[in-house]
Amino acid sequence: MPQNDESQTVITVLGLPGSVRAGSYTRRAVEVALAGAEAAGARTVLFDPAKHELPFAYDSKAAYNANVISMRKAVRSADGLILGTPEYHGGISGVIKNALDLMGFDEFEGKMIGLVGVSGGAMGAHDALNTLRTIGRALHAWVVPAQAAVPQAWDVFGDDGGMTDPALEARLKGVGQEVARFARLHKCEEAMKFMDAWEKAAPNPGGVRD
C-alpha cells in the first residue's frame, strides 16, 4: 500500500544471480549491488540458485518444487530486484532465464529492477544486459536507467572477496542504490516526485570504465 512519508518507507531489495558456479563472479557482483541498496536504507535478501536447485520451467505449476515456491514468494514480497547474469555467447545464462521463466507478472509487475552482468572478455556483458532489459519490460517491471557491466571479471574480483577496481565497485553499488531509491519513491504516494526523479536520472553509463 502506498505510504506518505518517503523517509519512513521500508523497502526490500532481492538479488538473483544467474549462476550456480562455485565462486561465481556474478553472485559476487550482485552482492556488491545489494550492498549499495543496503547503504541506501533497504533491507536486502539474496536468493542463490546454487543453494536452491530449480527444475526446468514447465507448463504445470503442479511440477514446481519447494524451491520454486520459495523463490516466487521472495520475489513477490520484494520491492526491488537486482538481476545478475554472466554473458554466454552474447546472451544471458540459462540459469537466469529458467528462473525468470518460472515466474511472471505476479512477481514482477511494477517492481524496480537493476541489472548487472559479468564476462570474461574485455567488452563486458552489454548484449546480455540488453536482453535482460527487454525481458524486464516484457514482465511489466521498471528497469532502472543504471546498469553495470563487469569486463574481465577474473581480474576484477580479488581472492579476498573484494574488488580491484574502485570505480567499477562504485558503479555496481550505484545500481543497488538506484533500485532502492526508486523503489522507495514508487512505494510512497509522491508519484510526481518519483516521475521527476526518473526523468532526471543519468543516462545508462553502460560498462565504460572511469
* Residue 20 identity: V
Q: Which helix (H) or strand (E) holds 11?
A: none
Reported CATH class of domain 6-200: alpha beta
Q: Which cell is 71 given?
A: 523463490
Render pLDDT for 34-56 as a digit per residue (tens, 0 to 9): 999 999 999 999 999 999 999 98
Which residues in 35-67 are b (16+ Cβ under 10 Å) and which e?
A: bbbbebebebbebebeebebeeeeeeeeebeeb
Q: What is the rounded CA–CA span in Å between residue 159 and residue 157? A: 7
Domain ranges of the chain: 6-200
**Nearest to residue 18, comparing CAs of 57, 42, 45, 47?**
47
13 pLDDT above the threshold of 80: yes
- Label residue 169 by pLDDT band (50, 70, 90): very high
Which residues in 105-131 are b (16+ Cβ under 10 Å) and which e?
A: eebbeebbbbbbbbbeeeebbbbbbbb
**Nearest to residue 38, comparing CAs of 16, 15, 13, 8?**
13
Q: Which helix (H) or strand (E) holds 44?
A: strand 43-46
Residue that wins the pLDDT comparison between 196 and 175: 175
CB 189 within 8 A of CB 3: yes
- Beta strands 43-46 and 142-150: pairing type? unpaired
pLDDT at position 3, please? 52
* Phi, psi dihedrals of residue 82, rounded to the nearest 5°: -115, 115
Mean pLDDT along residues 101-125? 93
CB 80 within 8 A of CB 111: yes
